[in-house]
């Protein structure tokens, strides 16, 4: 046992410069159709070494009962290479449940894979990162439950979804830009859905009510306005299965760091496509790091 403990300690702290840390935080967002999401996380590890991050998210809306998603992630971050694995579980709610497993790898040509620059390096390329990931989700829902929301559903849901993702990030002249693209493939034809897709942020609650992704793209831009404030903007595009229109989400927000505390607030505009009414969603978060 002593040898095992020593080995784990060496893996966690590969050199004398490594520093231990822990983070914790919570966030909440609310919007149209009774939508709400509240999440909390904790993370502990080394700046260069192993880290672990458990989290939990609660979703609810007018279309589905309250849904919980439990997630755990373990990863390793080095000077150039970062790798991670995670799993999640959504207990049965309204007859629907899922389990998911994922793995990803990132390589930093410049900078470090998990650390966007703070805005001080404004005259040069301070970060350039490339990576890829894969996630497999097992969806299950009974035909009886499906037909309560979608009377024309003709089969129970028992499908595997595999998401293949490529991503890149760069920091230049004090701006951080990150982008990713994901292709989703399924093991069987999905049940017919007639309910219009709801906000992409709620996809973790129940895709049979919120839409199954086909191709997705995301982008995020962050910069430092004044020493403690970082505005950001994000764009998300989702092409969806089951004859649903492509959806877009535009978000603007800002975070502020004071000592060990960081707080943020945002507003999102969700466009479900095909001329359907747009909806607004707002939220806030707070975190602490030691």
Tell me the pLDDT tens digit for each residue of 116-126: 655 555 557 88
Above 80 in pLDDT, residue 255? yes
Q: What is the Cα–Cα distance from 206 to 201, expressed in whole angstroms?
A: 11
| Full-model pTM | 0.85
What pLDDT score was predicted for residue 188? 78
Residue 225 CA to its chain's centroid (Å) = 25
243-251, long-range: CB < 8 A, 24+ apart: 244/193, 244/196, 244/197, 244/211, 245/197, 245/272, 245/273, 245/274, 245/276, 246/273, 247/197, 247/200, 247/211, 247/271, 247/272, 247/273, 248/273, 249/199, 249/200, 249/201
Q: Which CATH class is domain 2-289?
A: mainly beta
Higher-pLDDT residue of 169 and 142 is 169
Q: What 3-state class would DSSP assign to 190?
A: coil
Burial class (CB in 10 A: 0-12, 13-18, 19+), 193: buried
Above 90 in pLDDT, residue 32? no
Specify whether the CB–CB gap between 81 and 130 falls below 8 A. Answer: no
- Cα atoms in the 13 Å half-sphere on the side-chain side of 258: 4
**Percent with pLDDT over 90 in the chain:** 44
Please count the other Cβ atoms lying within 10 Å of the Cβ belonging to residue 177: 16
Instruction: Identify the band that residue 42 occupies on the pLDDT scale cut at 50, 70 and 90.
Output: very high
DSSP string, 80-146: SEEEEEEEEEEEEETTEEEEEEEEEEEEEEESBTTB---S---SSEEEEEEEEEEEEEEEEE-HHHH
Q: What is the Cα–Cα distance from 176 to 205, expressed in whole angstroms?
A: 30
Above 90 in pLDDT, residue 85? yes
Q: What is the Cα–Cα distance from 271 to 281, expressed in whole angstroms?
A: 11
Higher-pLDDT residue of 72 and 268 is 72
Which of the residue ranges 93-97, 98-102, 110-114, 269-273 has the most confident prediction, judged by mean pLDDT? 98-102
Higher-pLDDT residue of 216 and 115 is 216
The residue length of the chain stands at 290
- Cα atoms in the 13 Å half-sphere on the side-chain side of 288: 2
Considering Cα of 178, then 41, then 38, then 161, what sign does the dihedral take? positive
Instruction: Identify the band that residue 44 occupies on the pLDDT scale cut at 50, 70 and 90.
Output: very high
For residue range 185-224, what is the model confidence (pLDDT) as tens digits?
998 777 665 444 444 444 445 666 667 889 999 999 998 8
Burial class (CB in 10 A: 0-12, 13-18, 19+), 124: exposed
Q: What is the mean pLDDT of residues 47-52?
A: 93
Above 90 in pLDDT, residue 157? no
């Amino acid at each position: 046992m002593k040898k095992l403990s020593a080995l784990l300690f060496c893996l966690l702290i590969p050199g004398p410069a490594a520093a231990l840390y822990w983070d914790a935080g919570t966030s909440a967002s609310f919007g149209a159709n009774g939508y709400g999401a509240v999440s909390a996380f904790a993370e502990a590890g080394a700046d260069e070494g192993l880290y672990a991050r458990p989290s939990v998210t609660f979703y609810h809306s007018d279309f589905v009962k309250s849904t919980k998603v439990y997630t755990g992630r373990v990863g390793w971050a080095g000077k150039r290479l970062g790798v991670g694995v995670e799993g999640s579980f959504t207990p049965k709610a309204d007859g629907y449940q899922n389990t998911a497993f994922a793995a990803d790898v990132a390589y930093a040509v410049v900078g470090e894979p998990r650390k966007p620059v703070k805005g001080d390096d404004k005259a040069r390329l301070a970060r350039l990162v490339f990576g890829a990931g894969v996630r497999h989700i097992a969806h299950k829902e009974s035909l009886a439950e499906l037909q309560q929301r979608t009377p024309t559903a003709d089969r129970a849901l028992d499908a595997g979804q595999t998401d293949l993702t490529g991503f890149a990030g760069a920091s230049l002249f004090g701006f951080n830009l990150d982008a990713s693209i994901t292709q989703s493939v399924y093991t069987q034809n999905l049940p017919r859905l007639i309910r219009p897709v709801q906000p992409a942020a709620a996809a973790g609650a129940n895709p049979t009510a919120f839409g199954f992704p086909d191709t997705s793209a995301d982008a995020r831009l962050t910069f430092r306005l004044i020493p403690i404030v970082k505005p950001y903007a994000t764009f998300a595009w989702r092409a969806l299965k089951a004859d649903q229109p492509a959806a877009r989400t535009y978000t603007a927000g800002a975070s502020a760091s004071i000592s060990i505390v960081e707080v943020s607030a945002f507003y999102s505009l969700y466009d479900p496509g095909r001329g359907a009414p747009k909806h607004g969603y707002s939220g806030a978060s707070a975190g602490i790091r030691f």
